[in-house]
Amino acid sequence: MSPFKLPPQIVRLVILIIAIVSSYAVARHVMTPASFGQYGHYRGAALMELASREPLYGGQKSCDECHSDVRIKMAKFEHKSISCETCHGAARAHGNDPDHVDMDKPAATLCLRCHEVNGGRPPWMKQIEQSKHYTGQGKCTECHIPHQPSEVP
C-alpha cells in the first residue's frame, strides 16, 4: 500500500480538469483559422475578404460631379465639413447610375443623432431638447434648411 493516497473525489476532479483543458486545446486547434495571428491578434485572411467587397460609399467627389452647386452653398455654413453620405446614406450606386437609383431623404430623427442634447458633445455644437424645441409632428426641415442650417425659410 502506498503511503500517500488521494481521496477519490480529488482524483475525479483532476481527471475532469484534464479532460476540460484537453478538449479546449483540441477545439481551439480545430476551430482557429490558419491565418489567425498572421498580422497580429486577428485573422489575416480577413484583410483580403474586406478588400474584395464592393464599396458602398462613393465619396465627396462622386457627389460633387453633379451636385457642385449644393457643395458650394454648404461651404458657407456649419455643415460644410459633413459628407453628403452622412445624411443621405451610401451613394456609390447612385453615383454610378443617377437616373435609376434614388438617394435617401433624411428623416427628422437623423438630425437628432448629432443635435439632441448630450453632455459629451462639444459646447460649440448646437444642441436641442426635442420636446422643448418643437412639439409638432413634422420634420426639422419645416423650419431649417439642412444644407444651409443657419438660414430659416
The single-letter code of the amino acid at 7 is P
Same domain (yes/no): 83, 112 = no
SS3 of residue 25 by DSSP: helix
Domain for residue 124, yes or no?
yes
What is the domain range of residue 89?
Answer: 56-104
pLDDT of residue 49: 92
Same domain (yes/no): 86, 112 = no
- The total of structural domains in the chain comes to 3
pLDDT of residue 95: 79
pLDDT of residue 26: 98
Backbone angles phi, psi at 128, to 5 degrees: -130, 160
Check pLDDT > 70 for residue 2.
Answer: no
Whole-structure pTM value: 0.56
Domain for residue 90, yes or no?
yes
Backbone angles phi, psi at 116, to 5 degrees: -70, 140
* Per-residue model confidence as pLDDT tens digits over 5-44: 889 999 999 999 999 999 999 999 999 999 999 989 989 9
What is the C-alpha R_g of the chain? Answer: 29
**∠100-106-109 over CA atoms, to 5°?**
155
Same domain (yes/no): 100, 63 = yes
- Whether the CB-CB separation of 58 and 101 falls below 8 Å is answered with no
Distance CA 126, CA 123 (A): 8
Q: Give the mean model confidence (pLDDT) for residues 119-123.
A: 86
String of DSSP letters for 82-100: S-HHHHH---HHHHH-TTT
Q: What is the DSSP letter of 38?
A: S
* Per-residue model confidence as pLDDT tens digits over 57-110: 888 888 888 888 888 888 888 887 888 888 887 888 887 788 877 777 776 677
